[in-house]
Amino acid sequence: MLGAAVLLATGLFASAEAQLRALDALVDGVQDRYQKTHFFQARFQQTSALASLDEKQESRGRVFIRKPGMMRWVYESPEIQLLVSDGLNYWVYTPRQKQVILTRFGDAFRSKTPLAFLAGNGKIRDEFNIRFAKKPSGALDESSVVHHLVLIPKTTHPGLKEILLEVRREDFLIVRSALIDPFGNVTDIRFEEIRVDKIPPLELFTFKIPPGVEILRPPRLPGKTK
């Protein structure tokens, strides 16, 4: 019985070590992929779920990213909305409301969410504790085309509890990012038709405020001097 217990413990330890090595290799692969990826574009589907109201809202559109810090999110349905960053400024334009929110890119993406990571901001090891998700398929399921990860912020963030990532096995590209806040609200984004070999033109990352549109400027966050 003692021998069997020792063998079982040894097997469990070896399995845990194998998972740690696999996790390290995966995180290294993701970080390396996005350090070397300077352009990104895709179609996306976003599902926003409010825990308190048990409601979901689905949006669709296209995203274009060009490092460093340039992004363009075009929401095509159910409502037209435009999110643009030139690396310094960040605009959120809603034509129906005739309003644009203007802030600094560093303020809008102060926490290193995957959106900022895709745009070239930060390293996931520095910002998160990372582990394999227990569901839906297990960490080392060789039949799965994606890996499932859970990212927990190393420092407390009022708007972020954890992030669920799906990483494509073949090329370490992120195909899903689900942000969960402390209240259980979820913003789930899935990427399709991903391309990293096409250079988005610089004109996509500038925004001219249309005449008659109200400009809203949120207060600067503490610690920002520029």
Residue 139 has pLDDT above 60, yes or no: no
Among 10-14, 49-53, 185-189, where is mean pLDDT lowest? 10-14
Q: Say which residue, 119 or 58, is predicted with more confidence.
A: 58
Q: Any idea how long the chain is?
A: 226
Contacts by residues 133-138 (CB-CB < 8 Å, ≥ 24 positions apart): 133/164
Sign of CA dihedral 108, 114, 116, 122: positive
Lookup: tokens for 56: 């979901």
Residue 175 has pLDDT above 50, yes or no: yes
Lookup: tokens for 161: 């509890």
Highest mean pLDDT pick, 1-15, 46-60, 141-155: 46-60
Q: Cα–Cα distance between 47 and 29 in angstroms, integer? A: 27
Q: What is the pLDDT of residue 4?
A: 54
pLDDT > 70 fraction of the chain, expressed in percent and rounded: 80
pTM for this predicted structure: 0.81
Q: Say which residue, 156 or 112, is predicted with more confidence.
A: 156
Identify the three-state secondary structure at position 162: strand
Q: Cα–Cα distance between 67 and 140 in angstroms, integer? A: 32
Give bridge partners of residue 148 from the DSSP assignment.
166
